[in-house]
Structure 1
Amino acid sequence: MNRSLTSVQVDGPFFQNLKRKNQYNEDLQSCMTRTMAKLLETSTSEHHPGMLLGKIQSGKTRTFIGVMGLAYDHGYDVVVVLTKGTNALVKQTYARLHQEFEERIEADDMRVYDIMSIPQNLRKYELSQKLALIVKKETHNLDRLKEALLETYPGLSGRKILFIDDEADFASVAYENKREQNLKTMRVIASKINELRSTLNRPSFLQVTATPYSLYLQPEDMTIHEGKVFEPIRPAFTELVPIHDRYVGGDVYFDRADVEGDVASYLYHEVKENELEVMKKMDGRRVKMDRLLTQKNIPNIREAILNFIVGSSIRRWQQKQEGSRPEKYSFIIHTERGKHAHAWQGELIRSFEDLLIEGAREESPVFKELIHASYQDLIRSVKALKGNTIPTYNDVYEEVRMSLDEEYIVSSIVNSEKDVTELLDVTGQLQLRAPMNIFIGGQILDRGVTINNLIGFFYGRNPKSFQQDTVLQHSRMYGARPMEDLAVTRFYTTQKIYAVMKRIHEFDRELRQAFERGGHKRGVVFVQRDMDSSIQPCSPNKLLLSNLTMIKPHKRMLPIGFQTGYKTHIQKTIREIDRRVEQLKKNARYTEHGAYLVRLEDAKELIGLIHSTLEMEEGRDFHLEEYHGVLDYLSSENGSGAYVWLLTREKRQIRRFKENGKFENSPDTPGGEKGELSVARKVAENHPALIMLRQEGKKENGWRGAPFWWPILVAQRHTSPTVYANKTVK
């Protein structure tokens, strides 16, 4: 029997309590009721679950708790919440469920248990209540769940049970990948859940995830359609969790960051690779503990600490002016996994604290200079936010000096479950002991533990291969943030890591948009450049996320962050490019709107010549193979031949850096209908376009006094959303 959305009752006691407490808006309540309606009418299993697809730190837990309330009101007796494998997250989930369902628990309508501590002698009266069982995704927990449902309390196995797999990222998906050290464990967990399911009376399954990529990593029944499209196992249904208006995600850190003057354009500060080396281990030759406030090889960690202190002081001053209680703030340092590195970083931070406290009490010239520089950095973004109360430098200086003198800063090392457990407050969140809290740690910090009021991130985990779910969560940079906090937030990492994060953000965004528009039903194209340089289908579970490019209609692709070679070294190549461009224009197959249709191979040769004239800065990439591979793929998309539109402009005077100090990234100004980008997108219907801008390269604009060509690829309008993998795992 099909149930319409209107048949889901929202006036039951469980959901009504939650709604009254949380003040759900219309969009969120609709998501919850649609999910409930589909769970009631659809057969779900661990292989074909219902899916709640949200964004990282966007309110997914709030949403599935609302679904739990509806489930209890619609005949479900037991909800099993599967959490990631940390005791801290179990404790946090336990505290959250107790808080949310407090009224029903006090009314003896419900009980919440950690499966590892569920009593062995529950009475009939207690078993008649609704149950929430928190189960860590770990073999012993699942064994205890099986024992509870089938042996200790066998009557529960015949009741209506809902499984909710929280954070069901692709670490939870049982796909075959021998590189994963935890593969065996994951497969055991999957088999245990499957075995348990077969003994229960039609349980329901709901997965909650922020990584749509996971849906493409399940091999069972995966098909390759027309030789290239990998179709994921589609969930029984997918519901998108609405994003609230306080959410700060990848669009802020990576998209809006390129808009000059936007609050987001001040967030990212680049860290050089050699400074991360200093953070790895104590080295008395590199770091003099008594000179930390002036030493030149640790500028960013010093700046990060100062900006955190000054930023917290700005916000606390603003809150006092508004008559509200000043908040406590937090800052994360996450660069290494090893405990020795954490111990060294802890000593480093405490030494910074001591020197700053001494400087504040003495009001030393160095201290004043550092606070002034930090104020100048932060006040730019504070002023960029309209309606902000702007403190003067003296206001902030006095607030900072008082904060240091009163020892408002506390730093904590968090590198084990024991550390986390000891630092949790009664709600299961990391306790903010003082107005300014610095947490130093590794992987344990990323596993779902909530840290409030984060305004500083120093991130340096640099693995050989990046995984989408872990990289974006390690830094804890996404989540609900007041815009006033965002104005004093700073994010420190290397350009290499930032570029990878940006690629992962783009990848996540495109897959999510495919779900939003229903395009995932047609599949997403995954391709790679093979050994013989041909473009071949690529299995999604072989992707290295640090080496992929998202291709979509009219997307631009260009090198950013480079210097030219010296004039004497490149002028011969530049003359050769000039000659070839003129020759290609004369022999073009077709001309339209000032663009020339040329052979693919000729376009690739031009890019190869340009590549030899540019020198990329640290952390910046211009992979010739990637550009050639993308052009090969785009040209193969159209059956009318391997051609590219060539569009050139000359005598350009663009500066190497923008006014905000960042590398120029938009040499192809739209310029109305006649601008090169507008023209390129106009002609790039069935063939890609290659814009080539001949820059004068003058020294006064930051270059080396040599003309050079700047290439921009533009994908054609008629192309499928595509994941192009420059390198894959064998």
Structure 2
Amino acid sequence: MLNDLAEIARRITSTEVIEINSVTGEGIRPNPARRHTLYIGGTKIGRGVTVKNLLVTYYGRDAQQPQMDTVLQHARMYGYRRNELAAIRIYLPTHLAQRFVNIHESDDLVREQCQAIHLPIQLIPLMAKGIKATRRNVLNDDTTRITYQGGRQYFPSLPISDPNMLSNQTQELDNLLSTAKYPNHQQPYTVTIDELLEILNFQYKTPGSSGAWNDDLIRQAVSALRDQQRYQNVGTLVIVNRSADIGKSSDRNYSQIGAVLPGNTGSAPYEINRNYPTLLMTRTNGNINPPRGWDGVPFWIPVIRFPDGNYAFYVNES
């Protein structure tokens, strides 16, 4: 024991404290002169720096609206050293630890999208509200926004009603949503998320119309939910009505519909399970006369409700 204490006392003296900031002009040393080095700093050691043989970190860097790419760069301080993983220690507040977990989960989902679609990523799932994907100055403000949030409902504000654009879409949806499979109106049916995606695999929004609904991005968002274990590929389907009389809203100058479902758009209708994604389908007969009306043929209107949770989907439409 005495020998151990003597060795500890000898090694403690071989410690150097280096303050890294714009005043000192110091930086990470590739070959430290002492056996132990304590680096103290903020921005200069928080982004893209790898510290050789780093074992212990006290992390207190916080921000009101953290940026996902910046926080990921903070995690690079350890480099790629799996062999030392058992000895590595990080001390930080619980809410910051959860932030790293959320961002790691988001990053994994983005990588899965890349592998699945082999196309530029338009939609980044953020597992906690208040996190930004990246700096605003590198994005186009006209095409980038947080659009889809947990616990909210979305629908195409001007659904396709032109028979030339619809083609046989209504008939195909009639077959998918037949009374033989779903006999009861306003009753929640448990289905897979893959089945929801099959129904969503149509164009519902009139090209060029306004609103948050984007057919491709809605499918990407629902696909991202499918890939998360917490949802277990489980969704809910509700056939709201097969012969509705929904018209365009006078409050919107008869340019789009005001609502599809009764009640608040953030509520959970028809006793659905709020923990799973829900698709609510309404078939309108299309016979309402102008200016509120359509083109005289029936068509389906979808409403997607994302499950409750503190998350959002960051959308880049460019």
TM-score (norm 1): 0.27
Displacement of 1:690 in angstroms is 0.3
Indicate whether 1:627 and 2:223 are aligned. no
SS of aligned partner of 1:603:
helix
Q: Conserved in 1, the CA contact under 8 Å of 2:205 and 2:214?
A: no
Whole-Å Cα distance in 2 between the matches of residues 556 and 623 of structure 1? 13
Aligned to 1:642: 233
SS of aligned partner of 1:530:
helix
Q: Conserved in 2, the CA contact under 8 Å of 1:173 and 1:217?
A: no
The structure-2 alpha-carbon separation of the partners of 1:695 and 1:538, relative to structure 1 and needing over 3 Å to count, comes to closer
Give deviations 1:224-259, integer Å, cap 9, x for gaps.
xxxxxxxxxx9x89xxxxxxxxxxxxxxxxxxxxxx
Displacement of 1:523 in angstroms is 3.4
Indicate whether 1:523 and 2:102 are aligned. yes
Matched to 1:214, the amino acid is Q
Aligned to 1:657: 249
Aligned to 2:65: 212
Give deviations 1:348-380, integer Å, cap 9, x for gaps.
xxxxxxxxxxxxxxxxxxxxxxxxxxxxxxxxx
Whole-Å Cα distance in 2 between the matches of residues 643 and 206 of structure 1? 37
Displacement of 1:715 in angstroms is 1.6
Aligned to 2:198: 605
Aligned to 2:304: 713
Aligned to 2:151: 554
Matched to 2:244, the amino acid is R
| Larger Rg computed on CA atoms | 1
Whole-Å Cα distance in 2 between the matches of residues 598 and 544 of structure 1? 37
Whole-Å Cα distance in 2 between the matches of residues 173 and 564 of structure 1? 53
The structure-2 alpha-carbon separation of the partners of 1:578 and 1:222, relative to structure 1 and needing over 3 Å to count, comes to farther
Indicate the RMSD between aligned Cα atoms, in angstroms. Answer: 5.0
Whole-Å Cα distance in 2 between the matches of residues 699 and 666 of structure 1? 18
Whole-Å Cα distance in 1 between the matches of residues 45 and 300 of structure 2? 46
Displacement of 1:688 in angstroms is 0.8
TM-score (norm 2): 0.55
Displacement of 1:706 in angstroms is 2.8
Identity %: 11
SS of aligned partner of 1:616:
coil
The structure-2 alpha-carbon separation of the partners of 1:713 and 1:640, relative to structure 1 and needing over 3 Å to count, comes to closer
The structure-2 alpha-carbon separation of the partners of 1:596 and 1:620, relative to structure 1 and needing over 3 Å to count, comes to same
Give deviations 1:589-630, integer Å, cap 9, x for gaps.
xx9971112232332122123x1x542335556433321221
Displacement of 1:212 in angstroms is 0.6
Give deviations 1:627-680, integer Å, cap 9, x for gaps.
122112223334574232111222332332342537435322228xxx995335
Whole-Å Cα distance in 1 between the matches of residues 124 and 194 of structure 2? 22
Give the count of matched residue pairs.
239
Whole-Å Cα distance in 1 between the matches of residues 249 and 156 of structure 2? 14
Aligned to 1:688: 277
Q: Conserved in 2, the CA contact under 8 Å of 1:564 and 1:704?
A: no
The structure-2 alpha-carbon separation of the partners of 1:723 and 1:567, relative to structure 1 and needing over 3 Å to count, comes to closer
SS of aligned partner of 1:582:
coil
Q: Conserved in 2, the CA contact under 8 Å of 1:690 and 1:712?
A: yes
Whole-Å Cα distance in 2 between the matches of residues 565 and 173 of structure 1? 57
Displacement of 1:581 in angstroms is 0.5
Q: Conserved in 2, the CA contact under 8 Å of 1:554 and 1:714?
A: yes
SS of aligned partner of 1:667:
coil
Matched to 1:634, the amino acid is L
1:718-729 alignment, distance < 5 Å: 719=309, 721-724=311-314
Aligned to 1:666: 259
Aligned to 1:678: 268
Whole-Å Cα distance in 2 between the matches of residues 173 and 578 of structure 1? 59
Of 590, 596, 600, the residue aligned with 2:189 is: 596
SS of aligned partner of 2:168:
helix
Structure 2 residue runs of 5 or longer lacking an equivalent are 1-18, 26-41, 50-59, 78-89, 127-132
Aligned to 1:703: 294
The structure-2 alpha-carbon separation of the partners of 1:598 and 1:212, relative to structure 1 and needing over 3 Å to count, comes to same
SS of aligned partner of 1:694:
strand
Give deviations 1:445-474, integer Å, cap 9, x for gaps.
xxxxxxxxxxxxxxxxxxxxxxxxxxxxxx
Aligned to 2:170: 574
1:389-468 alignment, distance < 5 Å: none
Matched to 1:581, the amino acid is L
The structure-2 alpha-carbon separation of the partners of 1:521 and 1:640, relative to structure 1 and needing over 3 Å to count, comes to closer
The structure-2 alpha-carbon separation of the partners of 1:519 and 1:705, relative to structure 1 and needing over 3 Å to count, comes to farther
Matched to 2:208, the amino acid is E
Structure 1 residue runs of 5 or longer lacking an equivalent are 1-44, 48-141, 148-164, 177-186, 188-204, 224-233, 238-513
Q: Conserved in 2, the CA contact under 8 Å of 1:649 and 1:693?
A: yes
SS of aligned partner of 1:645:
strand
Q: Conserved in 2, the CA contact under 8 Å of 1:564 and 1:703?
A: no
Q: Conserved in 2, the CA contact under 8 Å of 1:551 and 1:723?
A: yes
Indicate whether 1:533 and 2:104 are aligned. no
Whole-Å Cα distance in 2 between the matches of residues 690 and 712 of structure 1? 6
The structure-2 alpha-carbon separation of the partners of 1:628 and 1:683, relative to structure 1 and needing over 3 Å to count, comes to same
Matched to 1:670, the amino acid is G
Higher RCO (CA 8 Å, separation ≥ 6 residues): 2
Aligned to 2:53: none
The structure-2 alpha-carbon separation of the partners of 1:619 and 1:683, relative to structure 1 and needing over 3 Å to count, comes to closer
Whole-Å Cα distance in 2 between the matches of residues 214 and 599 of structure 1? 33
Whole-Å Cα distance in 1 between the matches of residues 98 and 247 of structure 2? 40
Matched to 2:168, the amino acid is K
Matched to 1:637, the amino acid is Q
Aligned to 1:312: none
The structure-2 alpha-carbon separation of the partners of 1:522 and 1:640, relative to structure 1 and needing over 3 Å to count, comes to closer
Indicate whether 1:564 and 2:160 are aligned. yes
Q: Conserved in 2, the CA contact under 8 Å of 1:598 and 1:645?
A: yes
Matched to 2:189, the amino acid is Y
The structure-2 alpha-carbon separation of the partners of 1:531 and 1:620, relative to structure 1 and needing over 3 Å to count, comes to farther
Matched to 1:559, the amino acid is P
Q: Conserved in 1, the CA contact under 8 Å of 2:153 and 2:266?
A: no
1:153-192 alignment, distance < 5 Å: none
Matched to 2:194, the amino acid is E
